[in-house]
Amino acid sequence: MAQKLRTSITPDRGPDLTNLVFVPSDAHSVSLYQLHDSAGFWSDLNATVSSHADVIGSIAVRPMLKSLLKSYGIDDPEAFARAIGNRLQTIRFDESSPSVLVADAFDRPALRNLASRRLGKDPKSETVGDAELLLSSSDNWSAAFVGNYFLIGPAEMVRRCLSAQSQKQSLSSTEPFRKSQNHVDVSLPMIALTFTKDQRSAISFVEAFSHQQRSAFATTGAEIDRATNTLPLAVSATILKESSLEWSARSSFGIGGLLASQLFPESYK
C-alpha cells in the first residue's frame, strides 16, 4: 500500500518547525502532517483501500474513510483535501480533549461551506485580532480564518490558538520544544511529526520505582513539577520508506516511562 501512495504522500521537503504560531505554549501536543499532494493522496487512498477489498468491502469502506475527519467537523474529506494546501496541524490541549485542526486555506469559499455544515444555520461571526471567528449556533464548535489559514475545533480552544498567534506565545518559544527540536532531522521526508509533553511518563516512571511512600514523595511535588516542566518534549515521526511506513519515537524516559504511565496510572493522579 505504501508504494501505491508514494507519489502523492512523499513531501517535497521536511517539516517546517518555525511555523507553529497557532500552537500555545501550554498545549499538550501538536502533530504536523505534510504531503506532496493532499487531494491526490485522498484519491489514491480511496483507490488503494478499495483495491484490497471485494465489492461489498469497497462499498463499506468508503463511509469509514469519510469518517476520518468527522471529529473535526469535516463531513466531506475529498472537498476538504481540494480546498487546503499540503500541510496540516492538529493541536491538543490535554490527552482526552478534542483537537483543533489547522490547515492552509487555498479555497476559502469551499472551506467556509464545509465549516457551515458543522456550525449550523446563521453562525455568529466575531473579529478576533486579524481573524474572523465563526461560532456554532447550537454548540461550542467554531471555525476561523486568519491570513492564509483555516482553523476548526472547540470554540475555547480555537480562541486559545488565535491568542497564541496574536500574542506570539507559541510552543516554539519554550525550552522543552527547543530541546526536542535539536533531535529532529528536518531534511528527512516526514509524513507526520508529533511533539508531546512528557511529564506524565516522567512522573509515572519516578513514582513507580520510588521506595518512598506516596505521602513522603508528594512533599517534593513542586520540585518534581519544576523539573519535569523543563524536560524535552517526546517526539514521534512517520517516514515513508521504500515499501513501508517507518515510525520512530524519542522520549526522555523512553519505553519505561510509557509503560509506567500505562501500568501505574494511579501514580499520576
Per-residue pLDDT of the chain (269 residues; tens, 9 = 90+): 555 566 666 777 778 898 999 999 999 999 999 887 677 776 766 666 555 544 444 444 455 556 678 889 998 888 999 999 889 999 999 888 899 999 999 999 999 999 999 999 889 999 998 999 999 988 999 999 999 999 999 999 999 999 999 999 999 999 889 988 888 888 887 888 999 987 665 555 555 555 555 544 454 556 556 655 677 888 998 887 766 678 787 776 554 444 444 444 444 44
- Collapsing DSSP states into helix, strand and coil, what is residue 219? coil
Q: Give the number of domains in the chain.
A: 2
> Is there a single domain that holds both residue 136 and residue 207?
no
> Is there a single domain that holds both residue 51 and residue 85?
yes
> Is there a single domain that holds both residue 148 and residue 218?
no
d(CA 200, CA 112): 38
19 within domain boundaries: no
Number of H-type helices and E-type strands within the chain: 11, 10
d(CA 228, CA 262): 18
CA angle 76, 79, 81 (to 5 degrees): 105
d(CA 61, CA 40): 18
DSSP string for 82-137: HHEEEEEEEEESSTTSPEEEEEEES-HHHHHHHHHHHH-SS-EEEEETTEEEEE-S
Question: Looking at 154, 169, 184, which one is the last position of a domain?
Answer: 169
**Residues listed for the chain:** 269
Note down the domain range covering 190: 174-269
- Where is 204: in which H helix or E strand? helix 199-208
64 within domain boundaries: yes
Longest CA–CA span in the chain (Å) reads: 63
